[in-house]
């Protein structure tokens, strides 16, 4: 039999990428596109930009590989919200981006949701929905809410109103009972919520028009997606409870697979569902942004080579870009601590890297204290993950194996979801 391939697309904050993989996970093709910039009524026309980018990516898939593609999945930015017509799929409102806030809706959301629920933040999908509900006069009975990934997938399969439980978390979906909770279902706007499936579930065949235009096979299926940060986690292929991914970019974010769900609003810790497990996450304000304020990337690489990672550094810092920390210490008034600064830059950097490693260790300890499966193995991603010296320091401080993840792109994680969902018999 001819080997099948699986297509994943990531619609991230700065652009879109695709990865085409085989059953073993080897990448057969990949590519990326920037979002073209269109304006409409003084706002960026994201609808046009995303749609065009989706089809540009399909065009970028090598023609000779397209007939082998068994399934497609897409991830998008979390809490990027669209209100569309439930028949035509045409947007009824400007899409609201992941980081946009709707504080006007917060009092109403807080009055119906349990205290400290994920939806009680101005940028949550539910606040966006309620803000639209309260302000827009257009026909509410014809509307349906979709997340960015749901809408892009809809363009491919044509069945309106389907989401996944990762994207739906911030609108209030409860993945534990696998349903919207009663407090949400009793609201008038509950009628526009999409139905929800597990990420990587086959939805329908790729629509005929697209299939014939681009040369995809007749049985190519489109599967539910996830959010961009979960797709990036999936890319690292951490699959067992106790396996974790630390992302060392501008900030430090950790995600740990656990058999137990953990939530703590004080620390901004919450869990996404991944089939029969939980993906527990938290994000600290420390990370690479502080390093970049002090050193160039070239200096970072050169100085790191001179550090002896087996030697503990006595310098105890708390590197922050500005005042305030949430996790693993909840203290909005915490001040950055980067003193005393030794004359020797090698010692200074050693102190900073070691201090960030201590914060990482404290973060994993806190998750365990809050009830998660203990961490056993750390994969690492982001700009800081290429620093081998830091990896050795972290192994010593964490007392755990730390490995660079082989794949870190969210589109690769989306391709793994396509692979998981490639079962046309389930449609």
Residues that bind ligand ADP (CB under 6 A): 249-250, 288-289, 291-292, 297, 300-301, 304, 382-384, 386-387, 390
**Contact present, 283 and 397 (Cβ < 8 Å):** no
Nearer to ligand ADP among residue 253 and residue 262 (C-beta): 253
Nearer to ligand ADP among residue 198 and residue 363 (C-beta): 363
Instruction: Write down the least CB distance from residue 17 to ligand ADP, Å.
Output: 14
**Residue 165: closest CA among 271, 10, 50, 18:** 271
> For residue 15, how many other CB atoms are within 10 A of its CB?
12
Nearer to ligand ADP among residue 355 and residue 387 (C-beta): 387
Instruction: Write down the least CB distance from residue 295 to ligand ADP, Å.
Output: 8
Instruction: Write down the least CB distance from residue 386 to ligand ADP, Å.
Output: 6
Nearer to ligand ADP among residue 236 and residue 291 (C-beta): 291
Instruction: Write down the least CB distance from residue 414 to ligand ADP, Å.
Output: 18
Instruction: Write down the least CB distance from residue 338 to ligand ADP, Å.
Output: 14
Nearer to ligand ADP among residue 109 and residue 291 (C-beta): 291
Nearer to ligand ADP among residue 218 and residue 299 (C-beta): 299
Q: Which residues pair with 274 in a beta bridge?
A: 277
Nearer to ligand ADP among residue 301 and residue 427 (C-beta): 301
Instruction: Write down the least CB distance from residue 292 to ligand ADP, Å.
Output: 4
Nearer to ligand ADP among residue 300 and residue 422 (C-beta): 300
Instruction: Write down the least CB distance from residue 422 to ligand ADP, Å.
Output: 30
> For residue 345, how many other CB atoms are within 10 A of its CB?
15
* Contacts (Cβ under 8 Å, ≥6 apart) of 280: 255, 256, 257, 258, 261, 262, 269, 270, 271, 367, 372
Nearest-angstrom CA–CA distance, 73 and 222? 6
Nearer to ligand ADP among residue 381 and residue 419 (C-beta): 381
DSSP 356-389: HHHHHHHHHHHHHHTTPPPP-EEEEESGGGG-HH
DSSP for residue 421: T
Instruction: Write down the least CB distance from residue 81 to ligand ADP, Å.
Output: 23
How distant, in Å, are the alpha carbons of 5, 16, 52, 193, 227 from that of 33?
21, 5, 10, 31, 19
Instruction: Write down the least CB distance from residue 352 to ligand ADP, Å.
Output: 9
Residue number, nearest CB to ligand ADP: 383
Instruction: Write down the least CB distance from residue 124 to ligand ADP, Å.
Output: 22
Cα 80 to chain center, whole Å?
12
Peptide bond preceding 328 in cis form (omega within 30 of 0): yes
Could you tell me whether strands 221-223 and 202-205 are parallel, antiparallel, or unpaired per DSSP bridges? Answer: antiparallel
Instruction: Write down the least CB distance from residue 41 to ligand ADP, Å.
Output: 31
Nearest-angstrom CA–CA distance, 246 and 255? 7
Residue located via tokens 């693993």? 328
**Contact present, 5 and 222 (Cβ < 8 Å):** no
Sign (positive or negative) of CA dihedral 329, 331, 336, 340: negative
Nearer to ligand ADP among residue 51 and residue 292 (C-beta): 292
**Contact present, 247 and 382 (Cβ < 8 Å):** yes
Nearer to ligand ADP among residue 217 and residue 249 (C-beta): 249
Nearest-angstrom CA–CA distance, 224 and 84? 18
DSSP for residue 60: H
């Amino acid at each position: 039999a001819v080997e099948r391939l699986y297509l994943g697309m990531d619609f991230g904050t700065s652009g879109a990428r695709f990865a085409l993989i085989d059953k073993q996970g080897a990448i057969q093709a990949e590519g990326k596109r920037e979002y073209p910039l269109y304006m409409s009524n003084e706002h960026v026309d994201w609808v046009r930009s995303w749609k065009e980018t989706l089809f540009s990516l399909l065009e970028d898939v090598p023609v000779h590989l397209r007939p082998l593609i068994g399934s497609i999945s897409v991830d998008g930015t979390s809490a990027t919200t669209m209100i569309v017509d439930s028949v035509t799929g045409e947007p009824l409102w400007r899409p609201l981006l992941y980081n946009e806030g709707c504080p006007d809706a917060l009092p109403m959301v807080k009055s119906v949701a349990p205290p400290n629920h994920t939806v009680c933040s101005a940028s949550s999908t539910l606040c966006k929905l309620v803000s639209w509900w309260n302000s827009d006069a257009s026909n509410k009975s014809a509307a349906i809410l979709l997340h960015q990934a749901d809408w892009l997938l809809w363009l491919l399969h044509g069945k309106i109103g389907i989401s996944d439980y990762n994207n739906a978390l911030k609108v209030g979906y409860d993945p534990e009972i696998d349903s919207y909770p009663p407090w949400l279902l009793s609201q008038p706007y509950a009628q526009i919520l999409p139905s929800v499936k597990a990420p990587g579930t086959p939805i329908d065949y790729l629509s005929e028009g697209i299939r014939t235009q681009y040369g995809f096979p007749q049985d190519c299926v489109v599967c539910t997606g996830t959010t961009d940060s979960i797709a990036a986690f999936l890319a690292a292929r951490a699959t067992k409870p106790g396996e974790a991914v630390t992302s060392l970019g501008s900030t430090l974010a950790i995600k740990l697979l656990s058999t137990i769900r953990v939530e703590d609003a004080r620390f901004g810790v919450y869990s996404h569902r991944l089939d029969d497990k939980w993906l527990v996450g938290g994000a600290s304000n420390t990370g690479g942004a502080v390093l970049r304020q002090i050193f160039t990337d070239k200096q970072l690489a050169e100085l790191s080579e001179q550090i002896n990672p087996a030697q503990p550094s006595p310098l105890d810092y708390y590197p922050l870009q500005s005042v305030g920390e949430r996790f693993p210490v909840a203290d909005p008034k915490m001040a950055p601590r980067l003193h005393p600064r030794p004359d020797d830059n090698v010692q200074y950097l050693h102190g900073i890297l070691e201090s960030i490693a201590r914060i990482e260790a404290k973060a994993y300890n806190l998750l365990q204290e809050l009830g998660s499966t203990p961490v056993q193995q750390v994969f690492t991603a982001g700009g800081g993950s290429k620093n081998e010296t830091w990896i050795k320091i972290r192994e010593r401080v964490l007392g755990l194996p730390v490995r660079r993840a082989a794949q870190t792109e969210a589109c690769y994680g989306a391709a793994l979801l396509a692979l998981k969902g490639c079962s046309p018999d389930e449609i």
